[in-house]
Copies of this chain bind each other. A is one copy, B any other.
Amino acid sequence: MILVDRSLEEFSEILGSKSATPGGGSVSALAGALGADLISMVCRLSIGNDKYKDSENLLKESLEKAQILSKSLLKRVDLDSQAFNRVMAAFRMPKETEEEKKARSAEVQAGFKEAVQSPLAIASECLEVLHLAKNLIGTFNTNAMSDFGVAALQAHAGLEGSVMNVRINLPSIRDEQYVTETNNTVTHFVEEGSGIKNEVHAYVQQN
């Protein structure tokens, strides 16, 4: 059974179990998806209201993008656990002969790259959710102010959590250029995301 078909209560129980998956990566993807959903909610509560007529196009575009991001991030709840399972399976491969050692090492490396690419994609999409929030400042129904604020908090927690997962797996990868580039990318993600989160937070507190 895929994770997103589980009830909140079941997911909570599976998460708390001894199994290595689902773990922090899947939770970060879920946080990003729920952030995107709160952006959808904020847009829907504003679209069609005369007071926010001037931003109608932006609201509709943001709603569409938020729905796409939510769907993609929800898929990544399962994908991230699968990526990690691949690494675990690779470690269980035989390593008696030279050939087996080579095959195992290649599969471990491929698995770790996937275990980096997965949270990297989650981080990138969480950052997109944060950009949606940034662009919506001042354009929406202020009755949904705290939902808007929580959207940014969730997307930011998803971003930081997935960056942790990227950084924890990077030292296992031998391709130095890939490691350097990925490190630079996530550093940039974190800076940009934190800036937006602080901007949204200041806006929510002033309103």
Contacts and interface: CB of A to CB of B under 8 A. Distances in A.
Interface of A: 3-9, 11-13, 15-20, 23-25, 27-28, 30-31, 33-34, 36-38, 40-41, 44-45, 66-67, 70, 74, 77, 143-151, 153-154, 156-157, 160-161, 164-165, 167-168, 201, 204-205
Given A37-B16, A74-B8, A157-B157, A144 B27 contact: no
Given A8-B30, A146-B164, 16 more contacts: A4-B9, A6-B7, A7-B7, A12-B70, A16-B36, A16-B40, A16-B41, A18-B45, A23-B38, A23-B150, A24-B150, A27-B150, A31-B154, A31-B157, A146-B168, A153-B164
A109 to B, nearest CB: 19
A23 B41 contact: yes
A-B interface, 8 closest residue pairs, ranked by CB to CB distance from nearest: A24-B150, A16-B40, A157-B157, A16-B37, A15-B37, A150-B161, A18-B44, A24-B147
Of A7, A66, A204, most B-chain CB atoms within 10 Å: A7
Nearest to A15: B37
A66 B15 CA distance: 12
A31 B27 CA distance: 9
Report which residue of A5, A30, A153 has the largest number of chain B beta carbons within 10 angstroms of its beta carbon: A153
A144 B23 contact: yes
A183 to B, nearest CB: 12
B9 A7 contact: no
